[in-house]
Amino acid sequence: MSFEIMRKLLSRGVTILVGAVALFQIGCASSGGGGADPRKPQGFNTVVVDPGHGGRDSGGRANKLVEKQLTLETALKLGEDLRGSGLRVVMTRTDDRFYLLDERVALANRNRANNAILVSVHYNASGRGASGVVTFFWRTDSHGLAVRVQRALAQETGLKDIGVVRRRLRVTRNPDVPCLLVECGYMTNKSDAAKISQPAFRGRVAAGIARGILDQLAQGDGSIPRVPELNEPLSQATDAREY
């Protein structure tokens, strides 16, 4: 075999190899590299439940309510409800302990291989006179989940349905898993606060979030419209604002 023929064969082989690698990379990118996809029925089996704040970070305070206490109690009940429905649950905290937001994100990411989603539980303490429940999301694969959780939470609690909001927050933008942040009522609103202060009502909050998660597990996005991808940088502690 002449040197020229060998050179052509080698060149053709390299071209084929490069093309195969490119196709493999495209396939990995389009599939998201595995993990949960709540847009599809039975698209996840693990829920990382994040009680907001904790330890030295008390969160909001209003009307004799302390957010870190409310979120922990609500999140523990949510975890109990989800386990009772057959889902695997991982808690970011189970007591009054402080964790950085990035530590919570890292825990969610470690459960990506377990087909996890992340749900962060909060209560609102901003906006004079504001009331109701709102669910924040960022990732396009989290929109349907956000809609179902928001819908079920508003129905279960009877609080004003503010809707779903796409916002670039540490626990909605940075995780490598589908994720939400749920604000379960305004501690600064006297009517909301009177309800939130009752343990039975907080049980209804947990039940509403659980029902939304289970509805999404059973149905996926269904007829819920999808939203486009947005290419924005990760949220950082040094950001002037998160949006």
Global pTM value: 0.85
Contact by Cβ (8 Å): 179, 118: yes
Share of the chain above pLDDT 70, in %: 85
Structural fold of domain 46-219: Aminopeptidase (3.40.630)
The string of pLDDT tens digits covering residues 120-178 is 999 999 877 899 999 999 999 999 999 999 999 999 999 999 999 999 999 999 999 99
Q: Give the number of other CB atoms < 10 A from CB of residue 126.
A: 11
Encoded tokens for 190: 């006297």
pLDDT for the residue numbered 241: 55
Per residue in 36-61, pLDDT tens?
999 999 999 999 999 999 999 999 99
Asked if residue 13 has pLDDT above 70, the reply is no
Q: Are strands 116-124 and 179-186 parallel, antiparallel or unpaired?
A: parallel
Cα distance between residue 184 and residue 182, in whole Å: 6
Q: Please tell me the distance from the alpha carbon of residue 145 to that of residue 216, in angstroms, as a whole number.
A: 6
53 with 59: CB under 8 angstroms?
yes
